[in-house]
Structure 1
Amino acid sequence: MKAKDRLIVALDVDSRDEAMAIVRDVGAHCGLFKVGMQLHNSAGFSVTEEIMALGYPVFLDLKFHDIPNTVGKAASVVSRRGVKMFTVHAAGGQEMLRRAVQGAQEAQKAQGSGTAGVPLVLAITVLTSLSQGVLNDEVGYGGTVEENVVRFARLAQAAGVPGVVASPREIEPIRAACGDDFVIVTPGVRPTWAATNDQARVMTPAEAMEAGASYLVVGRPITAAPDRAEAARRVAEEMAEGLARRVK
Structure 2
Amino acid sequence: MSNPVFLALDVPRLDAGKALIEKVKGHIGGVKLGMEFFYAHGAHGVHEIAHCGLPIFLDLKLHDIPNTVAGAMQAIHTLEPAIVTVHASGGQAMMEDAKAAAGENCKVVAVTMLTSLDQRDLTKAGVTGTPHDHVMRLAELAEASGLDGIVCSGQEVGAVHKQWKHGFFVVPGLRPAGSAAGDQKRTVTPRQARDDGASVLVIGRPISRALDPAEAARAIEATL
Which interval holds the TM-score relative to the shorter structure? over 0.9
Tell me which of 47, 50, 60 is aligned to 2:48. Answer: 50
1:69-91 deviation digits (Å, cap 9, x = unpaired) = 01011112223321111100000
Query: Matches of 1:159 and 1:70 in 2, distance apart?
Result: 17
Structure 1 residues 156-175: aligned runs within 5 Å: 156-175=142-161
Tell me which of 136, 150, 155 is aligned to 1:150. Answer: 136
Paired residues of 2:6 and 2:203 also in contact (CA < 8 A): yes
Higher helix share: 1
Q: Name the residue aligned to 2:34.
A: 36
Query: Matches of 2:97 and 2:55 in 1, distance apart?
Result: 23
1:216 is paired with a residue of what secondary structure?
strand
| Superposition deviation, residue 205 in structure 1 | 1.1
Q: Name the residue aligned to 1:186.
A: 171
Query: Matches of 1:193 and 1:58 in 2, distance apart?
Result: 28
Q: Does 1:200 align with 2:185?
A: yes
Q: Does 1:229 align with 2:214?
A: yes
2:32 is paired with a residue of what secondary structure?
strand
Paired letter, 1:23: I
Query: Matches of 1:182 and 1:31 in 2, distance apart?
Result: 19
| Superposition deviation, residue 131 in structure 1 | 0.8
Q: Give the RMSD, CA atoms, in angstroms.
A: 1.1
Paired residues of 1:167 and 1:188 also in contact (CA < 8 A): yes
1:86 is paired with a residue of what secondary structure?
strand
Q: Name the residue aligned to 1:244.
A: none
Q: Name the residue aligned to 1:177.
A: 163
Paired letter, 1:235: I
Paired residues of 2:110 and 2:149 also in contact (CA < 8 A): yes
1:217 is paired with a residue of what secondary structure?
strand
Paired residues of 1:51 and 1:57 also in contact (CA < 8 A): no
Structure 1 residues 1-248: aligned runs within 5 Å: 1-2=1-2, 5-104=3-102, 108=103, 115=104, 118-137=105-124, 139-179=125-165, 181-238=166-223, 240=224
| Superposition deviation, residue 193 in structure 1 | 3.1
Paired residues of 1:149 and 1:170 also in contact (CA < 8 A): yes
1:212 is paired with a residue of what secondary structure?
coil
Paired residues of 2:8 and 2:32 also in contact (CA < 8 A): yes
Paired letter, 1:127: L
Paired residues of 2:161 and 2:196 also in contact (CA < 8 A): no
TM-score normalized by structure 2? 0.97
1:49-69 deviation digits (Å, cap 9, x = unpaired) = 111123111100010000000
Paired residues of 2:27 and 2:214 also in contact (CA < 8 A): yes
How many residues are aligned here? 224
Query: Matches of 2:95 and 2:78 in 1, distance apart?
Result: 18
- What stretches of structure 2 of length at least 5 have no aligned partner? none
1:196-238 deviation digits (Å, cap 9, x = unpaired) = 1111000111111111111100000000011111100111111
Paired residues of 2:62 and 2:87 also in contact (CA < 8 A): yes
Query: Matches of 2:4 and 2:127 in 1, distance apart?
Result: 32
| Superposition deviation, residue 163 in structure 1 | 0.6
Paired letter, 1:125: T
Paired residues of 2:82 and 2:107 also in contact (CA < 8 A): yes
Paired residues of 1:64 and 1:88 also in contact (CA < 8 A): yes
Paired residues of 1:122 and 1:165 also in contact (CA < 8 A): yes
Paired residues of 2:22 and 2:52 also in contact (CA < 8 A): no
